[in-house]
Structure 1
Amino acid sequence: MKKCIILFVAMLLIMGTAFSASAHFQVILPSDDLINDGESTELEIQLIFTHPSEASHTMDMEKPELFGVLHKGKKVDLTKTLESFTFHGGDAWKASFNAKGFGDFLFYLVPAPYYESAEDKYITQITKVVVNNLGMPTDWDAELDLQAEIVPLNKPYGLWTGNVFQGVVKMDGEPVPYAEVEVERINSQAFSGLAGEEPKFPSDAHITQVIRADENGVFTYGIPKSGWWGFAALMEGEEIKGKDHEIGAVMWVKAYDLN
C-alpha cells in the first residue's frame, strides 16, 4: 500500500512538472500570413487550444463565442463558418476565408471559457493574428474593443529573425502595468502546413519564456528564430461558477530568416 502511495505521488509530481514546463496557448493559425501578387487568397484558419512548443497536450475547445475579421475598418462575424475537427486528440475548429483585396485582415477570436481541472480555474484567451495581402498596411494596429487584447506597436508581420516585437497589453481598454507575458514558438512539425525542424530545448525552462510589461503595459521581445511566435498576457477576470478566471490576451506573429 505504501509503495502504491509513493508511486502515485511520484506520478503527480512528474505530471505537475510536465504541465508547468509549457503553457496553454490559444492558437489562430492561418495557412498563409503574407499573400503576394498572383498567389491564392484562399485561407484555411485553424483554432487550436494547445501547448504549441511541444504540442504535447491539446485541450478540447467548445464552439467559440466569437470569431471574426477586421478589414479596412469593417468587421465581419465568421463564427457561423466554423467547422469542428480533431487535433492531437483534442476538439478544435477551422474556417475557410477568401482574403480578397489588398491590406490587412485582422482575425480575432473569443473562445468559450475552458475549465482547467488541474488548476481548478477557467481560462479564456482572446486571440488575434494578422494576414496581409500585397504588402499594404491598413488595420494591423486597430483596437477591437475586446475585453483583453494586445495592441501591436510594430507591424505583426513581415518580421525578420532578430527583430523585436512590441505590444501594449490592454484590459477593458486600459493598459495593464507590469502584465506577465508568456512567449512560445510553434513546433512546426506538429502542425499541418508548416515545415521545419522539431525544436530541441536545453531545459524545461526554455520552453516558455516569461517577460513583464513596463508601467505603461508595453512589452518587448527579441525574436531569436524564424517561425510562428505566440505572446500571451495573463490577467485576472471575474469568477465563473465560483472559480478563478484567467483572462489571456494573445497575439501571433511570424518571423522569417534573412537570406
Structure 2
Amino acid sequence: MKTRMLIILLAVMVPGSAGPVQAHFGMVIPSDTMIMARENRTVHLTFSFSHPFEGHGMPLARPRSAAVFFAGKRIELQDHLMPIRFMDHSAWALDYPIRRPGVYQFLMAPQPYWEPAEDLFIIHYTKTVIAAFGDEQNWDAETGMKAEIVPLTRPFGLYAGNVFRAIIKRDGRPVPHAMVEIEYYNQDGRAQASTGFMVTQTVKSDGNGIFCYAPPVSGWWGFAALGPAGFKLKHDGIDKEVELGAVIWVLFDDWETK
C-alpha cells in the first residue's frame, strides 16, 4: 500500500503507485452480525491488523480506544480487552453482552503502527455494525471518529452480490474522488488470486464522497479509504508521514433455499 496524496478535508485521494501492493487493514470482526432473541446474546469481537486476503498478520499494540456506539452514545471498552494471538501476531478480543434491541457499532482507534517498508506510520479507524432483536434503526449513524466510512446500504443482512454503498468522511465532511481499497477476509485460506491485482479491489468515490461495490462471494469484506493524516510523528527522532485510514467490515451471506 503506497502513500496516497490527500488534500485534507474535501480532498482527492489518488494512488501513489500503479502496481499491486499488499494492503493493510485494521480489523474488527464480531462472532455474529444479527442477534436474534433465542441466540447467544454475547458477541465475541476480535481486534487485529493484517493483510486479510493473504492471511498475514501484523502486531497490534493495545488500541488507544475500543468502544461501542449505541443509541447515540459511545461507551469505552478498552478495559475489557484481552490479549490474544491472531494470524501469529498480537491482537485483542472482548466479549460484549447484548441486552437491548438496536444497532451496535464497534469501533477501534489503534496506536500508530510503524511500517518500515513504507517509511511511515499507519492509523486505521476501524468499525463494524451489528443489529439485535429485530431493531435496525440508526444503522447509518455517524460515530464521530476522525475518519469514518458511513454506510448508505444497511451494513448487515446482506447477500453476496448485493451492492454496498457508503460515504467517506474526514472530520465529519465528505471526501470526494477518494480511492477505496477493498479486500476479502480469506478466513480458511482457500481463495486464490491469479495475480497481485486480484488480491485488493479498488473503487473511487464520486464528487460527494460516495462509493459502491458488489462483493462476488459471501464472507467478510473490508473497505478502506486512506490518505495522509496532515501531521507527522517521530521515529528515531525523525519526523515521519502518517497514513490515516477509515475502515469498515461488512459480512455478506449466501442466498438460502429450502
State the TM-score, normalizing by the size of structure 2. 0.87
Kindly indicate whether the alpha-carbon contact (under 8 Å) linking 2:20 and 2:197 is maintained by their aligned counterparts in 1. no
Q: Which one of 186, 206, 209 corresponds to residue 214 of structure 1? A: 206
% identical equivalent positions: 39
Pair member with larger Rg: 1
Match of residue 68 from structure 2: 69
Tell me by how many angstroms 1:224 deviates: 1.0
How do 1:208-247 and structure 2 match up within 5 A? 208-237=200-229, 238-241=231-234, 242-247=239-244
Tell me how many residue pairs correspond in the alignment. Answer: 233
Residue 27 of structure 2 aligns to a residue whose secondary structure is strand
Aligned-partner residue type, residue 153 of structure 2: N
1:51 aligns with 2:45: no
Residue 188 of structure 2 aligns to a residue whose secondary structure is helix
Kindly indicate whether the alpha-carbon contact (under 8 Å) linking 1:106 and 1:139 is maintained by their aligned counterparts in 2. no
Higher relative contact order (CA 8 A, sep 6+): 2
Residue 49 of structure 1 aligns to a residue whose secondary structure is strand
Unpaired runs of 5+ residues, structure 2, are 1-18
Match of residue 90 from structure 1: 89
Q: Give the Cα–Cα distance (whole angstroms) in 2 for the partners of residues 188 and 250 of structure 1.
A: 18
Tell me by how many angstroms 1:123 deviates: 0.3
What is the alpha-carbon root mean square deviation over aligned residues?
Answer: 1.4
Aligned-partner residue type, residue 225 of structure 2: A
Match of residue 15 from structure 1: none
Unpaired runs of 5+ residues, structure 1, are 1-18, 191-197
Match of residue 152 from structure 2: 153
Aligned-partner residue type, residue 50 of structure 2: T
1:249 aligns with 2:246: yes
State the TM-score, normalizing by the size of structure 1. 0.87
Aligned-partner residue type, residue 126 of structure 2: T
Aligned-partner residue type, residue 33 of structure 1: T
Tell me by how many angstroms 1:134 deviates: 2.1
Tell me by how many angstroms 1:177 deviates: 1.1
Kindly indicate whether the alpha-carbon contact (under 8 Å) linking 1:72 and 1:138 is maintained by their aligned counterparts in 2. no
Aligned-partner residue type, residue 70 of structure 2: H
Kindly indicate whether the alpha-carbon contact (under 8 Å) linking 2:61 and 2:90 is maintained by their aligned counterparts in 1. yes
Q: Give the Cα–Cα distance (whole angstroms) in 1 for the partners of residues 21 and 175 of structure 2.
A: 25
How do 1:112-123 and structure 2 match up within 5 A? 112-123=111-122
Residue deviations 1:96-128 (CA, integer Å, cap 9, x gap): 100122111111110001000010000000011
Tell me by how many angstroms 1:22 deviates: 2.8
Kindly indicate whether the alpha-carbon contact (under 8 Å) linking 1:164 and 1:220 is maintained by their aligned counterparts in 2. yes
Aligned-partner residue type, residue 128 of structure 2: V
Tell me by how many angstroms 1:138 deviates: 2.4
Q: Give the Cα–Cα distance (whole angstroms) in 2 for the partners of residues 35 and 80 of structure 1.
A: 24
Q: Counting helix residues as a fraction of each chain, which structure ranks higher?
A: 1
Tell me by how many angstroms 1:20 deviates: 4.9
Residue deviations 1:44-76 (CA, integer Å, cap 9, x gap): 100010011110x21111110111001222221
Aligned-partner residue type, residue 38 of structure 1: R
